[in-house]
Copies of this chain bind each other. A is one copy, B any other.
Amino acid sequence: MNPDALRGHMDALLLSVLEHEPLHGYAIIEALQERSGGALSVPTGTVYPALRRLERLGHLTSEWATVAGRKRRTYRLTQSGRAALAGERSSWRQFTDAIGSVLAPRPQE
């Protein structure tokens, strides 16, 4: 997967995996990999800063917890995050429609 291709879609991915359950960063990375059938291996250097950015934007809140001796920062969608997710889904459709219609092979005359 070309790294650049993810540009501008990370927010959508992160918001989407957090839609129904709060998760911590490490679990988010695993969820992305699992849901995409192994296609998405997003490095920690991408995910952690992105989560902080989304929190700064007010789309997520986080709280620390200690589970089995390990510290976790668990992220949760805010109302604003839910709205953002809806917007991202809509944008994604428009985006794929636009690119898809250009990329579609055309019958040669």
- What B residues does A7 contact at CB under 8 A? 4-5, 7-8
Determine if B102 and A40 form an interchain contact, defined as CB atoms under 8 angstroms apart. yes
Determine if B1 and A32 form an interchain contact, defined as CB atoms under 8 angstroms apart. no
Q: Kindly report which residue of chain B lies nearest to residue A89, judged by CB atoms.
A: B103
- What B residues does A94 contact at CB under 8 A? 1, 39
How many residues of A sit at the interface, in one of the four size bands? 35 or more
Determine if A39 and B97 form an interchain contact, defined as CB atoms under 8 angstroms apart. yes
Give the shortest distance, in Å, between A108 (CB) and chain B (any CB). Answer: 5
Determine if A95 and B8 form an interchain contact, defined as CB atoms under 8 angstroms apart. no
**Which 10 pairs from chain A and chain B are nearest by CB?**
A4-B8, A7-B7, A39-B98, A5-B8, A36-B98, A4-B7, A35-B102, A2-B8, A16-B103, A5-B95
CB within 8 Å of B: which residues of A?
1-9, 12-13, 16-17, 19-20, 32, 35-37, 39-40, 88-89, 91-92, 94-103, 105-106, 108-109
